[in-house]
C-alpha cells in the first residue's frame, strides 16, 4: 500500500473529486478525515446520479479508518478545529488536500461584488488558511504533503472572473509554499482537472457537456477516480522529489490551440 497508516485531511470530501481522492487514499491504506458542509453525498442529474453511501462508509469498506467533521472552510475557526481534531484523532497529520470549492457564475458585469468576495473566500482564502494551520504538523511528518486542487481554468478564461482568478492564485500559492517548505521536506503541488463528471456540473446543459466531450481527445470525460489516482501518486514516496508543480489532468483538452 502506497499510503499505509498515513493521515490525511480532504476538504470537500463528501462528494465529487474530494470523495474520489479520499476513497483512493483509503484504498492505499491512509486514514482520512473528511471535511465538508454536509456528510451525505450530492447526487447530480448528469453525473453521480446513484451515489448513496457516505465517503466514510466507503473508506471503511476498504478496511481503513475515516471520520467526518462538518466544516465550513470559509470559517477560520472551523478550519482550526478540523486540523486540531485530526491530530487529536491520529496524533499526526501527513497529507492535506484542499479540494473544497465551486464556481460562481457571471461575467464582470453580472457577477456581484458579494459573489466575488465569496468566491475568493472559498476558492483561495480558505486554501491559504487551511495550509497555514496544517503546516506546523506537516513539518513534523516524514511524509508531509500538500495537494491543492486548482483547475485548467487557472491557465485561461471562460469560467468567469472569480473562479479563474482564484484558481490561478492557488497555482502561484503552490509555488511560493514549495519554496518555503522545501527545506522542511514538505512537498506542495497542485492538480488542475479539466472536465470531471460530478454533481457540480448540474448547472451545465447536455449540449455544453457534449461540447466538452468533443473537445477532449481521449474518448471519455474524466472521473473523480482519475484525479484520485494522481493525488495518491503526489502523496506517496514516489513523488518525494516533485514539488511546486501544477499538473493538468484533463484527457488532453488543453492540448488544443483552439476548441
Query: Tell me, what's the pLDDT at 258?
Result: 63
Note the pLDDT tens digit of each residue in 17-40. Answer: 999 999 999 999 999 999 999 999
Q: For this structure, is 258 an active site residue?
A: no
List residues bridging with 68 in a β-sheet. 34
pLDDT at 184: 98
Q: What is the mean pLDDT of each run of 10 residues along the chain (259 residues)?
A: 97 98 98 98 92 97 98 98 98 98 94 97 98 98 98 90 97 98 98 94 88 92 97 98 98 81
Residue-level pLDDT at 202: 86
- pLDDT tens-place string over residues 43-63: 998 999 999 999 999 999 999
What is the pLDDT, as a whole number, of residue 60? 98
Closest Cα partner for 99 from 52, 60, 151? Answer: 151
Which one of the listed residues 46, 163, 203, 258 is annotated catalytic? 163
pLDDT score, position 259: 53
pLDDT of residue 20: 98
Let me know: does 31 contact 5? Beta carbons within 8 Å. Answer: yes
pLDDT at residue 157, as a whole number? 81
- Nearest-angstrom CA–CA distance, 63 and 27: 8
Q: Which three cell numbers stand for residue 85?
A: 481534531
In three-state secondary structure terms, 187 is strand
Please count the residues of the chain: 259
DSSP states along 229-258: HHHHHHHSGGGTT--S-EEEESTTGGGSS-
pTM above 0.75, yes or no: yes
* All domains in the chain, ordered by first residue: 7-248 (3.40.50.720)
Place of cell 453511501: 53
E strands in 46-133: 66-70, 95-98
Amino acid at each position: 500500500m502506497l499510503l499505509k497508516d498515513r493521515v490525511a485531511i480532504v476538504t470537500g470530501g463528501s462528494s465529487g473529486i474530494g470523495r474520489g481522492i479520499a476513497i483512493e487514499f483509503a484504498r492505499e491504506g491512509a486514514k482520512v478525515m473528511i471535511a465538508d458542509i454536509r456528510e451525505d453525498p450530492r447526487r447530480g442529474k448528469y453525473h453521480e446520479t446513484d451515489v448513496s453511501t457516505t465517503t466514510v462508509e466507503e473508506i471503511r469498506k476498504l478496511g481503513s479508518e475515516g471520520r467526518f467533521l462538518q466544516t465550513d472552510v470559509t470559517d477560520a475557526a472551523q478550519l482550526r478545529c478540523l486540523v486540531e481534531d485530526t491530530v487529536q484523532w491520529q496524533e499526526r497529520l501527513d497529507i492535506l488536500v484542499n479540494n473544497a470549492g465551486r464556481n460562481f457564475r457571471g461575467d464582470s458585469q453580472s457577477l456581484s461584488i458579494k459573489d466575488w468576495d465569496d468566491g475568493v473566500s472559498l476558492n483561495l482564502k480558505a486554501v491559504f488558511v487551511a495550509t497555514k494551520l496544517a503546516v506546523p504538523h506537516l513539518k513534523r511528518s516524514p511524509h508531509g504533503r500538500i495537494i491543492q486542487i486548482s483547475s485548467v481554468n487557472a491557465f485561461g478564461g471562460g469560467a468567469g472572473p472569480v473562479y479563474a482568478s482564484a484558481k490561478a492564485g492557488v497555482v502561484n500559492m503552490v509555488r511560493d509554499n514549495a519554496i518555503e517548505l522545501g527545506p522542511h521536506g514538505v512537498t506542495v503541488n497542485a492538480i488542475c482537472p479539466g472536465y470531471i463528471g460530478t454533481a457540480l456540473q448540474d448547472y451545465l446543459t447536455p449540449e455544453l457537456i457534449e461540447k466538452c466531450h468533443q473537445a477532449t481527445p481521449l474518448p471519455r470525460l474524466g472521473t473523480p477516480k482519475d484525479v484520485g489516482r494522481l493525488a495518491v501518486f503526489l502523496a506517496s514516496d514516489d513523488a518525494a522529489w516533485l514539488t511546486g508543480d501544477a499538473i493538468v489532468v484533463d484527457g488532453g483538452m488543453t492540448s488544443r490551440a483552439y476548441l
